[in-house]
Amino acid sequence: MTSLPAQTLFTPEEYITQERKARHKSEYLNGQILAMSGASRAHSLITSNISNRLYNQLMESDCEVHSSDMRVQPSQKAYFYPDVVVACNEPRFADDVFDTLLNPVVIVEVLSPSTATYDREEKFSHYKQLASLQDYILVSQHKFCVEHYCRQDRNWQHTELRSPEDVLILDSIECEIPLRDIYMRVIVTESRGENQ
């Protein structure tokens, strides 16, 4: 009988030390370091479209917009790189390197076939622990579909937007983005699986 090799677990401190030296980004969850794959054209365009629309609307505000290079620590057991993140007022960071955000207000994840369930379930369960988080947005790459989770006291209200004419409204940061802007230059096909 063969035995499985023991899985190496890392402390958060080991992950941060290794991540700051790494050439490629990795996320961290429950002691495991998870390599991140490259993004598709659609993923990249959607991320840029959202980030640009939010940046333009928030230029004169006390909010700042970051794309996928800003790490977020939602709990002691998790570090993630959201596709887009917005922090307002005084952003708080884990240390004086200022690369791990602790108080995002809005987080956007663009779904891919390999991460859709993970983004909806595992990541969201950790993101919910952030007292600052008001809006969690999941965006399909292949069809007009934006899922918006908005914090209402202790509950999360879920809304789905499915038409190019629909508008994503983010009251927490006083921004609005039409879906047609989110999907600008993206080839939308309705034949893909529902979870993407």
Q: 152-178 pLDDT, tens per residue?
A: 988 999 999 999 999 999 999 999 999
Query: Which residue did the predictor score with more confidence, 112 or 133?
Result: 133
Look at residues 109, 29, 24 and name the one whose alpha carbon lies nearest to residue 74: 29
The whole-number pLDDT of residue 62 equals 97
CA separation for the pair 32, 77 (Å, rounded): 9
The closest alpha carbon to 45, from 113, 141, 125, belongs to 141
Q: What is the pLDDT of residue 191?
A: 47
pLDDT digits 0-9 by tens, 10-32: 999 999 999 999 999 999 999 99
The confidence score (pLDDT) of residue 5 equals: 55
Helix (H) or strand (E) holding 13: helix 12-19
Q: Is the dihedral of CA 87, 91, 94, 96 positive or negative?
A: positive
- The per-residue pLDDT for range 83-118, each reduced to its tens digit, is 999 999 999 999 999 999 999 999 999 998 888 999
Per-residue pLDDT band for 38 (boundaries 50, 70, 90) equals: confident
Q: Provide the pLDDT for residue 66.
A: 97
Residue 4 has pLDDT above 70, yes or no: no
Q: What is the mean pLDDT of the chain?
A: 92
The percentage of residues in the chain with a pLDDT greater than 70, rounded to a whole number, is 93
**Rounded-to-integer distance, Cα 186 and Cα 40, Å:** 11
Q: Are 27 and 163 in contact (CB under 8 A)?
A: no
What value does the mean pLDDT take over residues 53-62? 97
Q: Fill in the DSSP letter of residue 138.
A: E
Q: Would you state the pLDDT for residue 189? A: 81
* pLDDT tens, residue by residue, 69-79: 999 999 999 99
pTM above 0.85, yes or no: yes
The whole-number pLDDT of residue 190 equals 66
